[in-house]
Structure 1
């Protein structure tokens, strides 16, 4: 699919029902949200808006992304699901990011941000994946992390230990998320974890349409 078709489809799916008296044209708001989620920093997104004679603060664009409440689609039926966990930095605190990816399409199926790493949280993450997608017959690809394997056991899911191969898809996502969260400090500074989790869900929405 041509890149402009994918961008156009993504713009159509951005809902601006939260807008009441916003003076910025809605198309420009949608473009700003899309460009930021696709990789443009908040500072450069603001500069983009200025080309059209609109002066907005970085926090305004950040709020647009947050209020749009974008989510990755549910109801997928993948044959395999690559699951992993990693640490990301928000301000001066570390958080555990859980992510599930369809290795065939490289689409993000689900993300969750936690303040710690436990078997119970991993089990809850797998439960949420099962609620969102048809994965009971899928093979879950996990590394040697005990919480992930225990969660598969508790949910009665088939899993396979795999360090590379199809699990490279989730590693690719993690690399991009870490790049974004480290370089876009103006997006993640002085925000609560739930706001960061909202941003990650929005990122997943855009990632699935632009990969």
Structure 2
């Protein structure tokens, strides 16, 4: 994504239903969440708030992102779905980020975090995807991973092996996620899997809003 586009878009879609007693104006909370998810480190987000006359701790920004619990919106009916998974490191532990992407719009449809990759977990991911979107008639674009093909076959979903082409959509988004999570040095250091998953789902929501 070009540098100039990462901070465009409105933050008005960020819901703050979790807010009860918070002194920070809601629009600045929304802006802080969007700035952090789209480009800035938490420290730099704190600096932006300070320039606006608001002093908040790094942990406060982190808690806003976690409590907002953002998710990619539902209700899409894509013709194709690029499906893949990639490794995300939490300290010395490897986890797997599954993602389904609409290659026509370059938007995330669903993301989920698992401690391993198996056919059973892939079926779980696909079942959640079907609950959120109308993908029954979509063609899934996959690589040679046997667990992806086996799960799609078992659920009666159409798929096609595609090394490049439209399946590159999910590879591009994985590349951007890895750039974002390593840019400020071990973004998920000391994070538990649930915290990392919430951040990644929130990132997917933000990406969808900005493209």
TM normalised by structure 1 equals 0.93
Deviations 1:113-153 (A, max 9, x none): 11111111111111111111100000000000000000110
Tell me what 1:48 maps to.
48
Tell me what 1:92 maps to.
92
Output the CA distance in 1 between the equivalents of 2:170 and 2:85. 9
Output the CA distance in 2 between the equivalents of 1:173 and 1:59. 27
Deviations 1:131-183 (A, max 9, x none): 11100000000000000000110110110000110011100110011112222
Q: Do the aligned partners of 1:42 and 1:184 also contact (CA within 8 Å) in 2?
A: no
TM normalised by structure 2 equals 0.93
Q: Per the alignment, in what secondary structure is the counterpart of residue 89 of structure 1?
A: strand
Listed as ranges, the matches of 1:62-73 within 5 Å are 62-73=62-73
Higher share of residues assigned helix:
1
* Number of aligned residue pairs: 207
Tell me what 2:9 maps to.
7
Output the CA distance in 2 between the equivalents of 1:57 and 1:92. 27
Output the CA distance in 2 between the equivalents of 1:16 and 1:57. 19
* Root mean square deviation, CA, Å: 1.7
After superposing on structure 2, the runs of 4+ consecutive aligned residues of structure 1 that deviate more than 6 Å are none
Tell me what 1:17 maps to.
17
Gaps of 5+ in 1: none
Tell me what 2:210 maps to.
210
Q: Do the aligned partners of 1:102 and 1:108 also contact (CA within 8 Å) in 2?
A: yes
Output the CA distance in 1 between the equivalents of 2:113 and 2:103. 21
Q: Per the alignment, in what secondary structure is the counterpart of residue 12 of structure 1?
A: coil
Q: Do the aligned partners of 1:89 and 1:182 also contact (CA within 8 Å) in 2?
A: no
